[in-house]
Structure 1
Amino acid sequence: MKEDTIEITGFHAHVYFDTASRDTAARVREGLGARFDVRLGRWHEQPISPHPKPMYQVAFSPDQFSQVVPWLMLNHEGLDILIHPSTGDDVQDHTEHSLWLGEKLELNIEFLRQIRTT
């Protein structure tokens, strides 16, 4: 069981896409922006950091989880989406504490470990 002192300060959803699914990703993004007060990150057209595919990030607060995640569950249109908390431990947040919609992609966790040790 986790320590009670660990706090979730927010959540990130990483919406993955490729050339063929970019329009779908844009629709999902528009839906999120229209329905929720979330922070829509910029489009990353190439894999970045630990992420193996192009993606954009959506940041939202813990009190939005019960609205944003069910909406994504029903409206991700076949896209792969990583959802994880922000606790200050990026490795754990992207692995043990994460959930996936669609296919679970292989992340470059070594990248996150290197950041943690620098």
Structure 2
Amino acid sequence: MQLPLENIKNQTTAMSQQVQSSVPNDDPPTDLEKVVNEEIKEWHFHIYFFQKNSKAHAAALQLRDAVLRLRRDGAFVAVPLFRVNEAPMGPHPVGSYEIWCPSESFASVFSYLCQHHGDLSILVHPLTREARKDHDTRRAWIGPSFPIDLDALPVFTEDLPSQYHTLKLGYRSEVKQPSIEERKKAGAKVEETLKGEREAADTPPPDGYAAAPSFGFL
């Protein structure tokens, strides 16, 4: 039996209050300034292929060429590394190549690759000072996953692994970002607009409650 949306929202709020005391100490941060400062600005897509499989190898190179052509034509900014790994290298267990992507183009590049990767697997990970964590708990996959040799990666590096600085994108962007106050004003407008959307979850009060899932069926 499907419940009315208002009943579902009320039950979700009640569940949030019940589980508040059981929330672990490492709550997801909600401090706006902290979250903005920690935002990831650059990403890698690693396209995997079985290097001894001629069909997979050809498909991987065709995808690489397509990305390069689309970058030239202005679809997005994505920079494949100059080389293609024809054998396992570093943490990657099969043939692969790297595509760098700034946050400004992440959605467009992800959209293209998730639609057109064919049978190829793609490792998606952020670029931060914590390379091992980036390739482990922060990674995502398009297509089937592969085991990664995490021991080949440093736990922490002093230098931020930013790339292609001449583009002035990602971590090197010179575009002025909205201030904290401007973000709060924009957020308030979104909240006001969503008051008319019955399917949108209600934002918890300022002191916060633990998030709980909403259920359409009981």
Report the count of equivalent residues: 116
Q: CA RMSD in A?
A: 1.6
Task: Please say if residues 130 and 156 of structure 2, whose CA atoms lie closer than 8 Å, have aligned partners that are also in contact.
Answer: no
Conserved? CA contact 2:91–2:152, under 8 Å = yes
Contact 1:11 1:84 in 2 (8 A): yes
Distance 1:110 1:27, change over 3 A: same
Which of 48, 57, 62 lines up with 1:27 in the alignment? 62
Q: Deviation at 1:6?
A: 2.4
The answer to whether the aligner puts 1:116 opposite 2:155 as a matched pair is yes
Structure 2 residue 118 is matched with structure 1 residue 77:
yes
**1:38 corresponds to 2:73:** no
Cα deviation digits, residues 6-39 of structure 1 (max 9, x gap): 2313110000112321100011101111113321
- TM-score of the pair, normalised by structure 1: 0.89
SS in 1 for 2:155: helix
Superposition deviation, residue 75 in structure 1: 0.3
Q: Structure 2 counterpart of 1:90, which letter?
A: A
In structure 2, C-alpha distance between the alignment counterparts of 1:7 and 1:93, rounded to whole Å: 13
Query: How far apart in 1 are the matches of 2:152 and 2:112?
Result: 30
1:44 and 1:16 map into 2 onto residues whose CA distance is 9
Structure with the bigger percentage of strand: 1
Q: Which has the higher contact order (CA 8 A, sep 6+)?
A: 1
Could you list the runs of 5+ residues in structure 1 that have no partner in the other structure?
none
% identical equivalent positions: 27
Q: Secondary structure at the match of 2:151?
A: helix
TM superposition outliers: structure 1 runs of 4+ over 4 Å: none
* Amino acid of the structure 1 residue aligned with 2:43: F
| Alpha-carbon distance in 2 for matches of 1:24, 1:63 | 27
What's the TM-score, normalizing by structure 2? 0.50
